[in-house]
Amino acid sequence: MASHATGDGGIPPRDATERGLKRVMSLGGAYGTRNYTVKDLRDQKGKRVLVETLPFSPDEAAAAEAAGIDTMKVRFDPSQPALAATIRRAAPNTFMSFSVPLVAAASETEAVRLAYDAMALGADGIMCQWSPRFISAAAEAGVPVQGHAGLVPRKSTWTGGLRAVGKTLDEALWVYREIKDLENAGAWAVEVEVIPSELLAEITKRTTLLTSSIGAGSGGDIQFLFAEDILGTGPPPYPRHSKQYRNLYKMQQEMQAERIAGFKEFVDDVEHGGFPGPEHVVRAPAGLIAEFVAAADADLV
């Protein structure tokens, strides 16, 4: 029963309450503490804009939680689930959806199974690019589902490639209907990618879903940006919709240059007798080597 007293982060119930955390049990049966539940997040609609990111490493997830990020999405590879599980443990108190691969489920049954696998690793929900039929199956099974609308990169052939969507009346209505279909299928939220900001603001008023905006302006309920964009971990050019708050790529390049320089100096030092020096070696006690030589030579006779 001791496991019932603390959450994933080992926080006693009273301390969790004082920190504003909610005690929860995951769909997989694990007790934990979270900053938000689905109900809490839905209650925020129209009251404040939440912030969301997708970390790629445990260090990024831990930093995002420490900084007060509201929600996270994590890529979930069912063939290699360890990374997602490690990221979950690195940010134990933050609401986290696992982003499941589009092509990993080819039926409603497989969709539910994949969703359950994600939830068993500690996800609070899933994010997917599935059809409403698959989403309906997972939602009926009790899994909180965030859908995807607007520019859906893996389905971009239907919308003319990797470009903004919703700049004509037909496209705007299509995006709206897609979101309403997700709503009717039982999703609780939807990621909306690269549509006009004004369009997202109007759609947000007309759906019960929480709209997570990436490249769709400030008209949504959640503002979403990848950790690699926030931290600047990759080289330019950067997506137009992104903003870099740090330049870790430059720091990484400088660190790599320092690594190379360090290895070169080591090679040079060895070649020229600078390493090892007297301070790096152990000296034999007086007389030991003479005794060793005499004994060794005697063994050879």
Sequential pLDDT tens for the chain (301 residues): 333 333 345 576 667 766 789 999 998 899 999 999 999 999 999 999 999 999 999 999 999 999 999 999 999 999 999 999 999 999 999 999 999 999 999 999 999 999 999 999 999 999 999 999 999 999 999 999 999 999 999 999 999 999 999 999 999 999 999 999 999 999 999 999 999 999 999 999 999 999 999 999 999 999 999 999 999 999 999 999 999 999 999 999 999 999 999 999 999 999 999 999 999 999 999 999 999 999 999 876 5
10 Å CB burial of residue 217 (0-12, 13-18, 19+) is middle
* 240-251 core/surface letters (b: 16 or more CB in 10 A; e: else): eeeebeeebbee
pLDDT computed for residue 20 by the predictor: 87
pLDDT computed for residue 14 by the predictor: 63
pLDDT computed for residue 10 by the predictor: 59
Q: Where in the chain is the domain with CATH 3.20.20.60?
A: 48-246
Helices 169-185 and 132-140: crossing angle in degrees, nearest 10, is 20
Taking Cα atoms as reference points, which of 64, 61, 20, 65 lies closest to residue 40? 20
Cα–Cα distance for residue pair 101/117, rounded to 1 Å? 12
Could you list the beta-strand ranges (E) of the chain: 22-25, 31-34, 50-54, 71-75, 95-99, 125-127, 145-150, 189-193, 210-214, 222-226
Q: Would you say the C-alpha torsion 232, 233, 237, 238 has a positive or negative sign?
A: negative
Q: Is 108 a catalytic residue?
A: no
pLDDT computed for residue 1 by the predictor: 33
Whether pTM exceeds 0.75: yes
Which entry of 193, 198, 228, 258 is annotated as an active-site residue? Answer: 193
CATH 3.20.20.60 fits 48-246, yes or no: yes
pLDDT computed for residue 17 by the predictor: 66
pLDDT computed for residue 3 by the predictor: 38
